[in-house]
Structure 1
Amino acid sequence: MPLDPQVAALRAERMARGATPLYEMTLDEARAADLADIRAGGGTAEPVFEVTDATFPGPAGELPVRLYRPCADRPLRTLVYFFGGGWTLGGIDTSDGVCRALANAAGCLVVTPGYRLAPELPFPAAVHDCLAAVAWVRENAGRLGADPDRIAVGGDSAGGNLAAVVAQQTRDRPLAAQLLVYPNTCYHADTRSLRDNDDRWMFNRHSVDWYWRNYLTDPADGRDPRVSPLLATDLSGLPPALVVTAEYDPLRDEGERYAERMRAAGVPVELSRYDGMAHGFFTMSGVLPDARRAVAQAAEYLRKTLTDGT
């Protein structure tokens, strides 16, 4: 279907002001612009019963973490949510609006860890940090008010990649669910969606390539399932997953292929493509009704899966 009219209007606005793509900015400029865009699209942040900033022990030192508690109940089903930004941009504030909405709508504790960013600290730093965050939640579940047997992982874009990797790396003690929002799943994927999305005024294949170049110091690492979860030989035993994709997104096909491979391996998977939407829409609840619908779908999925175990 055509590009959603509101997404088209956002694209037209970027074109009219001659916006510079993030991949043509300096790192500092791109990081500031990315956060500003997400805040502008996110709208007014929802109030949450309790929001706490803390730290957790990462492999190379203390890292920031933010906890969103929707109520005083304990223990709570828990979502560990990894922010997006191509492993290069972003931080805890990037996903603040989404995490507030998910905490309230899903009735779960949402934990958002910081992780080390590329290119200063490339792969595998982010993977190690995200694994450490999940281990910290499990080990401190009683103190945090989390149910150690009802922990899900989730994230958008690169955060979805990290969530998928963490789910694969923790199969010895499986997590309860995965929420994968337009995730990167394969380095240099040769897909139609990657080839077709070449629009300068939107997230495009050049954006994807820029992020990969920042994240990997050695292109050969792209074959590692901790980089490309789609390339893992065995996907059996993974937790149930909701995979959300966007029609106008270079990552669409690799996200959907990952959903299909998990399903073929016996993993319960729900796949939902949002027609007319572009990459990044999930964080834009302030301007896009489909973003609010996708967040509500994700919250309902978490509530159902973490409660019923189905």
Structure 2
Amino acid sequence: MPLHPQARDYLAAIGPEEETDFDSITLEDIQRTRAQTDGAAIHRGPLTKLPFVRDEVAEGVPIRIYRADPGDAPLPVVVYFHGGGWVYGSIKRADAAARYLAVHSGGVVVSAGYRLAPEHPFPAAADDAWTVVRDIFARPAFYQSNGGVAVVGESSGGNLAAVAAWQARDAGLRLTHQALVCPVLDAAMGTPSHRAYAKGYVLPAAEIAWFLRQYADGVDPADPRLSPLRLPEAAGLAPATVVTAEYDVLRDEAETYARRLAQAGVPVEHRRYDGALHGFFALPGLFDQGADARSYVAGRLRESW
């Protein structure tokens, strides 16, 4: 399919991608970028006012808990992992998406502020993600949980959600669902979509390679804590929703993962957004498909409870 008109207009607005010397980026540059005001914040969705939003800590990991239901009855819990290549992103930046899921999923949302690379390399982010999931099972009353727990993540957050899903299975903890949105699932970067969309489509292959170096330089790409697609056995994983964008370097690895789950007997539903770019889910104010994808994921979560 051709680029969606909104995706085409977005690429025209940001202009041609300049060649970036990623090796010249310093830690100070990274920290400065993190500290800058997010110019796309207005497009990330409304900051819906909720009766309950509270910052807490899960075994040392910062979290923010969102609840749209004003009562105190136990509800299922959605653990949300933001994107940003394991280097960028934050609870604050993911605030609009977390609020949306709290309103529309029927659950309490716990947004995880996992440690970022390069200051905290692999497996710090994966360890933090697993810590939050494990804490929810260990302290259901604290989270007002009724026992249902799902994980949701976008991009690198989708990687963390997928890793946490297999860790939960192996620990004997039952997740009700895993929703993976344009996730990073294979560090090999060898798929046709990586070659086809390596340049000019928001997330160049060179940037993915840089993110991987910041997070997991020297790590075996077959380690399933980095590349969930390399997990030896997929049977018994939580039912899944996999969302992909057509013009995304990460498309093929995510779609391969969805097929692998189905072949292993895992209930899975995959939806590709034709003409869409990586990151569309985070910007529903720019992309109608992003708004649709958020609604779709929230609906899938509601169905899973």
Task: Report the TM range for the smaller structure's normalisation.
Answer: over 0.9
Distance 1:282 1:137 in 2: 26
User: Are the equivalent residues in 2 in contact too, given 1:14–1:201 (CA < 8 A)?
Assistant: no
Counterpart of 1:258 in structure 2 is 257
Does the residue aligned with 2:34 lie in a helix, a strand or coil? helix
Does the residue aligned with 1:130 lie in a helix, a strand or coil? helix
Distance 1:63 1:163 in 2: 15
Q: Over residues 196-221 of structure 1, what are the superposed CA-to-partner deviations in whole Å (9 max), with x where a residue is unaligned? A: 1133461121121111111113142x
Counterpart of 2:151 in structure 1 is 153
Counterpart of 2:213 in structure 1 is 213
Distance 1:201 1:299, change over 3 A: closer
Counterpart of 1:52 in structure 2 is 54
1:123-162 superposed matches below 5 A: 123-148=122-147, 150-162=148-160
Distance 1:37 1:262, change over 3 A: farther
User: Are the equivalent residues in 2 in contact too, given 1:197–1:250 (CA < 8 A)?
Assistant: yes
Count of residues in correspondence between the two structures:
298
Structure 2 unpaired stretches of 5+: none
Distance 1:262 1:244 in 2: 14
Q: Over residues 11-33 of structure 1, what are the superposed CA-to-partner deviations in whole Å (9 max), with x where a residue is unaligned? A: 111117x7786957521243346
Counterpart of 1:66 in structure 2 is 64
Counterpart of 1:294 in structure 2 is 293
1:56-135 superposed matches below 5 A: 56-57=58-59, 62-73=60-71, 74-135=73-134
Counterpart of 2:227 in structure 1 is 228
Counterpart of 2:15 in structure 1 is 15
Structure 1 unpaired stretches of 5+: none
Deviation (angstroms), 1:287:
1.7
User: Are the equivalent residues in 2 in contact too, given 1:157–1:181 (CA < 8 A)?
Assistant: yes
User: Are the equivalent residues in 1 in contact too, given 2:61–2:132 (CA < 8 A)?
Assistant: no
What TM-score does the superposition give when structure 2 sets the normalisation length? Answer: 0.92
Does the residue aligned with 2:141 lie in a helix, a strand or coil? helix
Distance 2:112 2:151 in 1: 11
Does the residue aligned with 2:137 lie in a helix, a strand or coil? helix
User: Are the equivalent residues in 2 in contact too, given 1:43–1:287 (CA < 8 A)?
Assistant: no
Q: Percent identity?
A: 39
User: Are the equivalent residues in 2 in contact too, given 1:15–1:201 (CA < 8 A)?
Assistant: no
Structure 1: which amino acid aligns with 2:178? Q
Counterpart of 2:165 in structure 1 is 167
RMSD of aligned C-alpha atoms? 1.8
Distance 2:20 2:136 in 1: 37
Structure 2: which amino acid aligns with 1:281? F
What TM-score does the superposition give when structure 1 sets the normalisation length? Answer: 0.91
User: Are the equivalent residues in 2 in contact too, given 1:87–1:211 (CA < 8 A)?
Assistant: yes
User: Are the equivalent residues in 1 in contact too, given 2:38–2:93 (CA < 8 A)?
Assistant: no
Deviation (angstroms), 1:38:
4.3
Q: Over residues 257-307 of structure 1, what are the superposed CA-to-partner deviations in whole Å (9 max), with x where a residue is unaligned? A: 00000110000000000011100010111121111110000011000011x
Does the residue aligned with 1:94 lie in a helix, a strand or coil? coil
Deviation (angstroms), 1:188:
1.8
Does the residue aligned with 1:142 lie in a helix, a strand or coil? coil
Deviation (angstroms), 1:226:
0.7
